[in-house]
A and B are shown apart, each in its own frame.
Chain A
């Protein structure tokens, strides 16, 4: 008996640490390093930690209530009402009201908004639009519509970012952003006490810091996932969360749609995917990923030089400019595209135009976040500044037709679907990536937290 008790005691003592490791601990300082500014769009990972939107999208892509507790549409989706979650306070204690929510939305979206007007009606926010807004709840979950306090209770303009998120800005230094846990967060307190975000760190420096334990989370660009794995870093990657696309101007030298179509056919996507992005991207000629729609394969991805020459015909094209949003692989990809185009007779210079006029071509990353495919498409086109196609219904046929219609304008050339990835340190646990591929640090905890 005694022996059995002793064995049981020993087993229970051994089992306690195991049980302790499976349950997240509160406290500790989580260190993160980023290449860009964590509070700036589009990929600032601190934005969703400091601010909340009216809605949010879960990992499965479903729209969930956030600062809005419920919503309803009327008038064939021309009017939407969102009821604010009661009792939510900003970090400075200001109560979230429909009035300051409207002010925050007007600051977040001063023009070209999905809606025509928004106004407060008691605890409700009322959105009205000239056109139907079937995907407005999804769009409001987007990064650009997060609510930040614009005016404090005593009428001052805040000197730091103030939101309702799980972390609040403690020290907004240029290269070191310190966030502390919001004890009164409506979602509940995050596990870690503080977040130290070191900005403007080169990827290799981030990895070096990660390997020596100076950071718990480092970024891994898609093209560097293979070297990261070769370096035996723990990499967590999202499904395709971004679209690498070549945007063509409808004015200037490329006003002729045939020329735009010729350029679209001249780009060698496989070289971009296999070499520059080290086989981490999925070649695509569709706006929406294959796993989201199931029909992306219908859009041909192969380079077609004959088609390019046929479309271009004898047209003389002046020198084109190709600007890039990003550096590293993005710059290399732009150079490669310029090289592809030079092969077909287009004289393309990579870089911003000298005289301040808009670029003829822009290589950019567009987010693929959202709920339904239609919402993703709408958000994608909105972020690219493209007109919204009319989607008759939620059927794949209607979606395909809308996407085909958007692509036939030859102003946006999809190239690759790319994942977002991060390398984690040994202390970090329970880290998940959200639908947009951003790390959900509010639910992460530290292994050695007290």
Chain B
């Protein structure tokens, strides 16, 4: 990733993070405001519900009180007590309940058994446990019904006045959706009543707590409650703890269909939860506001990111351009162009870097020049040393010979002639030797320009082998020649004489490296768009240091070498656009690898 892309990403992320932080803060604040409003509305509703509950309780108690004090009830009680026969009053409770507008009414005999029941006429003769609550305020009670279900009601128990032993009336009103319909409910608020049904065949009212949740028993003022099944955990928690419980319920997969719900347990006198009142306030407004803010945030973030891209492109261009120029200049320097310079603008760190770069390249160029001059001086010194060394060897015999001639002037003529003859022969031979040395140096300094022509690598190798393997050269009988030539054509554009001389030089070096004999291998093969030539020996090989310095002029590992052979070879190969390398290890021979461009077909 480029610097410009990094800067772009950094700017975009920064803008997006800033927008997200602002949006999150606003969303949280809105949620808190809505929750506060919901809590206030719920608290208000609970307060109103409690007032309505107390009002109904008073109504029920008053209605049962009036019934118990009525003349009709008193005469009935008198007759039952007098006759001991309650059968004629089997249906009396239904009539009385209808007159008093009560949903439940039971007449209890002196023994506490039901004489007549409006809600379950067949229940006569069975005991009614609520007798103990005679005279007490109205209370919650679950009343079993003939169809096996039960209904929740507000009940009051009153003794019928005047009768001894006393008969009692247990009257009540159903606590159901009708109560909810009378409660003031604000918009978006849903109230419902969850009432368990008692287990059939039992009168255990505590069984309600152990029953499984049935969504159909959660009824609102207008009937079914949407998503009633979702109230399961909330209602169970209220039943289990007996405390008011609140939670957010998601009624469908849509977030808008969620409510802030509160479950209020309704308990009987013993503290058992008989029913649960649920108050649910729709979160649709909140969710819509959140969605609206989120959409705005997305829009702002998108715009910000686009703006950030534009700005960052401009800033990144300003920031990265000098650096990119520096990078390009560095690449040029690495490529050998030490004259590269970068513009120096401004006074920031990048301009300091540019100035430093320019200074550094100037220093490098200067140091290179110094190095070249130093190397040139060193080369001249080396050349002088080698030249002195090479010339010193023939000069010493020349000096001795001349001195011997001078001393021989005193010898007899025959002896002088012999000495003279020998001395002149020596002088001639050493002078020839001097000429040879000087010729070699001359050749190195005057390498001819190659005259290129199309040849095949195989031919040039065969020619070299033929020269040294046959009588034309001085073959060593202990050296075995081996050819590894590819069968495909290997055309080269090369000067055959110069290439022959270079290869011959390598072959002679290889022969010198194997004084005790060995195998000399000549190989050629295509290597992509190049042709690879190899000259290998099985001599003692070279050290890594020797390999590194082998092509340096005047460096030699031989006793009497000039150190110019391989330098000349490298010069010839370079003039052909090729390269030469050496692979060797101590004791494993050496292989010279020449790579030349393949001629076009």
**A347-B90 in contact (CB<8A):** no
Interface centre among A275, A334, A335, A346 (most CB of B within 10 A): A275
Interface string of A338-355 (1 = CB under 8 A from B): 110011011101110000
Query: Is A336 interfacial (CB-CB < 8 Å)?
Result: yes
Query: Is B125 interfacial (CB-CB < 8 Å)?
Result: yes
Smallest distance from the beta carbon of B594 to chain A beta carbons, Å? 103
Interface string of B60-94 (1 = CB under 8 A from A): 00000000000000000000000000111010000
A344 and chain B: residue at smallest CB distance: B201
**A335-B146 in contact (CB<8A):** yes
**B148-A349 in contact (CB<8A):** yes
B91 and chain A: residue at smallest CB distance: A332
Q: Which residues of A contact B90 (CB under 8 A)?
A: 275-276, 278, 332
**B147-A350 in contact (CB<8A):** yes
Query: Is A279 interfacial (CB-CB < 8 Å)?
Result: yes
**B121-A335 in contact (CB<8A):** yes
Query: Is A226 interfacial (CB-CB < 8 Å)?
Result: yes
Q: Which residues of B contact A351 (CB under 8 A)?
A: 147
Smallest distance from the beta carbon of A318 to chain B beta carbons, Å? 12
B172-206 with Cβ < 8 A to chain A:
200-201
- Cα–Cα, bound, A227→B122 (Å): 19
**A335-B122 in contact (CB<8A):** yes
Interface string of A298-340 (1 = CB under 8 A from B): 0000000000000000000001000000000000111110110
Query: Is A62 interfacial (CB-CB < 8 Å)?
Result: no
**A332-B121 in contact (CB<8A):** yes
Neighbour of B147 across the interface among A226, A278, A346, A349, CB < 8 A: A349
Smallest distance from the beta carbon of A57 to chain B beta carbons, Å? 34
A275-B125, A332-B121, A347-B201 known; A338-B88 Cβ under 8 A: no
A278 and chain B: residue at smallest CB distance: B87
B73-118 with Cβ < 8 A to chain A:
86-88, 90
- Cα–Cα, bound, A371→B121 (Å): 38
Smallest distance from the beta carbon of A119 to chain B beta carbons, Å? 51
Query: Is B120 interfacial (CB-CB < 8 Å)?
Result: yes
Query: Is B598 interfacial (CB-CB < 8 Å)?
Result: no
- Cα–Cα, bound, A276→B124 (Å): 9
B114-168 with Cβ < 8 A to chain A:
120-126, 146-148
**A278-B88 in contact (CB<8A):** yes
- Cα–Cα, bound, A352→B588 (Å): 111
Q: Which residues of B contact A335 (CB under 8 A)?
A: 120-122, 146
**B201-A342 in contact (CB<8A):** yes
**A226-B88 in contact (CB<8A):** yes
Interface size class of B (residues with CB under 8 A): 10 to 19
Smallest distance from the beta carbon of A28 to chain B beta carbons, Å? 37
Smallest distance from the beta carbon of B389 to chain A beta carbons, Å? 124
- Cα–Cα, bound, A345→B87 (Å): 27
Q: Which residues of B contact A350 (CB under 8 A)?
A: 146-147
Q: Which residues of B contact A336 (CB under 8 A)?
A: 122, 124
A275-B90, A278-B88 known; A338-B200 Cβ under 8 A: no
- Cα–Cα, bound, A24→B122 (Å): 46
**A338-B146 in contact (CB<8A):** yes
Q: Which residues of B contact A274 (CB under 8 A)?
A: 87
Query: Is A391 interfacial (CB-CB < 8 Å)?
Result: no
Q: Which residues of A contact B200 (CB under 8 A)?
A: 319, 342, 347
Q: Which residues of B contact A338 (CB under 8 A)?
A: 122, 146
- Cα–Cα, bound, A136→B48 (Å): 76
Query: Is A253 interfacial (CB-CB < 8 Å)?
Result: no
Q: Which residues of B contact A123 (CB under 8 A)?
A: none
**B125-A271 in contact (CB<8A):** yes
Neighbour of B201 across the interface among A227, A279, A345, CB < 8 A: A345
Smallest distance from the beta carbon of B224 to chain A beta carbons, Å? 21
Q: Which residues of B contact A275 (CB under 8 A)?
A: 86-87, 90, 124-125
Q: Which residues of A contact B146 (CB under 8 A)?
A: 335, 338-339, 350
B200-214 with Cβ < 8 A to chain A:
200-201
Smallest distance from the beta carbon of A322 to chain B beta carbons, Å? 11
Q: Which residues of B contact A347 (CB under 8 A)?
A: 148, 200-201
Q: Which residues of A contact B86 (CB under 8 A)?
A: 275
**A332-B201 in contact (CB<8A):** no
B120 and chain A: residue at smallest CB distance: A335
- Cα–Cα, bound, A278→B87 (Å): 6
A88-133 with Cβ < 8 A to chain B:
none
**A271-B148 in contact (CB<8A):** no
A273 and chain B: residue at smallest CB distance: B87
Smallest distance from the beta carbon of B132 to chain A beta carbons, Å? 22
A227 and chain B: residue at smallest CB distance: B88
B90 and chain A: residue at smallest CB distance: A275
- Cα–Cα, bound, A226→B122 (Å): 19
Q: Which residues of B contact A271 (CB under 8 A)?
A: 124-125
Smallest distance from the beta carbon of A235 to chain B beta carbons, Å? 16
- Cα–Cα, bound, A227→B146 (Å): 26
Q: Which residues of B contact A333 (CB under 8 A)?
A: 122
Interface centre among B86, B87, B120, B123 (most CB of A within 10 A): B87
Smallest distance from the beta carbon of A337 to chain B beta carbons, Å? 8
- Cα–Cα, bound, A333→B86 (Å): 17
Q: Which residues of A contact B147 (CB under 8 A)?
A: 349-351
A337-379 with Cβ < 8 A to chain B:
338-339, 342-343, 345-347, 349-351
Q: Which residues of A contact B148 (CB under 8 A)?
A: 347, 349
Interface string of A270-309 (1 = CB under 8 A from B): 0100111011000000000000000000000000000000
Smallest distance from the beta carbon of A130 to chain B beta carbons, Å? 44
Q: Which residues of A contact B201 (CB under 8 A)?
A: 342-343, 345-347
Q: Which residues of B contact A227 (CB under 8 A)?
A: 88
Q: Which residues of A contact B123 (CB under 8 A)?
A: 339
Q: Which residues of B contact A279 (CB under 8 A)?
A: 87
Neighbour of B122 across the interface among A278, A319, A332, A349, CB < 8 A: A332
- Cα–Cα, bound, A299→B560 (Å): 150
B86 and chain A: residue at smallest CB distance: A275
- Cα–Cα, bound, A347→B201 (Å): 7
25 A-B residue pairings within 8 Å (CB atoms): A226-B88, A227-B88, A271-B124, A271-B125, A274-B87, A275-B90, A275-B124, A275-B125, A276-B122, A278-B88, A278-B90, A332-B121, A332-B122, A335-B122, A336-B122, A336-B124, A338-B122, A339-B122, A339-B126, A339-B146, A342-B200, A343-B201, A347-B148, A347-B200, A349-B147
Q: Considering the complex of A and B, which 5 residue pairs feature the smallest CB-CB distances, nearest first?
A: A335-B122, A336-B122, A342-B201, A275-B87, A335-B146
CB within 8 Å of B: which residues of A? Answer: 226-227, 271, 274-276, 278-279, 319, 332-336, 338-339, 342-343, 345-347, 349-351
12 more A-B residue pairs beyond the given contacts A227-B88, A279-B87, A338-B122, with a C-beta to C-beta distance below 8 A: A226-B88, A275-B124, A276-B90, A276-B122, A278-B87, A278-B90, A335-B120, A335-B121, A335-B146, A336-B122, A339-B122, A339-B126
